[in-house]
Amino acid sequence: MMLDKQALRIATRAARDDFVARMQPVMKPPAAYLARLSHGMTVASYVPMDSEADPSPLARAAVEAGCVIALPHIVNRATPMRFLSWDTEAALIAGPFGLHQPAEDAAELSPDIILAPLVAFDRSLNRLGQGAGYYDRAFLRFPDSWRIGIAWSIQQVESLPIESWDVPLHAIVTEKEWITR
């Protein structure tokens, strides 16, 4: 039986919270991800909230490869998310929804790779996000960016209810594997 998106979010977040509390998993950058990195690229990462998978090992690998890091910056629900430059030593400011983000005056960048958080995913590389559509709109705004979902393996579901505006990922990284077509 297919759950509606909100029920799926609630169930998957609860499973994710329990998994992280019990297992304390660690994300490792897969070789296929490392092979995509090159000096001067912009990699959009994020600061995890609650039990979201932490992309910092992938962001660190990008910095070591000479990439520039950008983080999401959100003003409100009506304003599209921007990716702003972030020096890994720079302080972050509080944003809406409990986010930690660069200051508004940081340079806006066009990402080559977008590391995207998610609530649930399936093997067809579909993602279920928080529900506000920020990442789907960013994926459309940056169609040439390589879209990588960052998740714990427990967040995988058999299939997701897909809407016409949902943009699939190019790959998903979990603590166990690299999933791609």
Tell me the pLDDT tens digit for each residue of 59-100: 999 999 999 999 999 999 889 999 999 988 888 999 998 899
Biggest CA pair distance of the chain: 47
Closest CA to 68 of 118, 108, 28, 33: 108
Contact 173, 14 (CB under 8 A): no
Q: What Cα–Cα distance (Å) separates residue 38 from each residue in 54, 96, 170?
A: 22, 32, 18
Closest CA to 42 of 75, 16, 65, 20: 65
Q: How far apart are CA 163 and CA 123, in angstroms?
A: 17
- Out of 42-46, 86-90, 117-121, 153-157, which region has the weakest mean confidence (pLDDT)? 86-90
Q: How far apart are CA 160 and CA 157, in angstroms?
A: 7
End-to-end CA distance of the chain: 26
Between these two residues, 139 and 164, which has the higher pLDDT value? Answer: 139
**What average pLDDT is seen over the chain?**
95
Q: Read off the pLDDT of residues 106-127 as tens digits, 9 standing for 90 and up.
A: 999 999 999 999 999 999 999 9
Model confidence at 150, pLDDT cuts 50, 70, 90, reads very high
* 145 CB burial (10 A radius; 0-12, 13-18, 19+): buried
Predicted TM-score of the model (pTM): 0.95
CA atoms within 13 A on the CB side of 66: 5
What is the enclosing helix (H) or strand (E) of 147?
A: strand 146-150
Mean predicted confidence (pLDDT) in 18-25: 96
Does residue 28 have a pLDDT over 50?
yes
Does residue 3 have a pLDDT over 70?
no
- Out of 11-20, 49-58, 81-90, which region has the weakest mean confidence (pLDDT)? 81-90
pLDDT of residue 52: 97
Under DSSP, the state recorded for 38 is -
Pairing verdict, β 127-128 and 120-121: antiparallel
pLDDT of residue 1: 39
- Out of 2-6, 138-142, 175-179, which region has the weakest mean confidence (pLDDT)? 2-6
pLDDT of residue 173: 98
Bin 125: left if φ > 0, else alpha if -120 < ψ < 50, else beta.
Answer: left
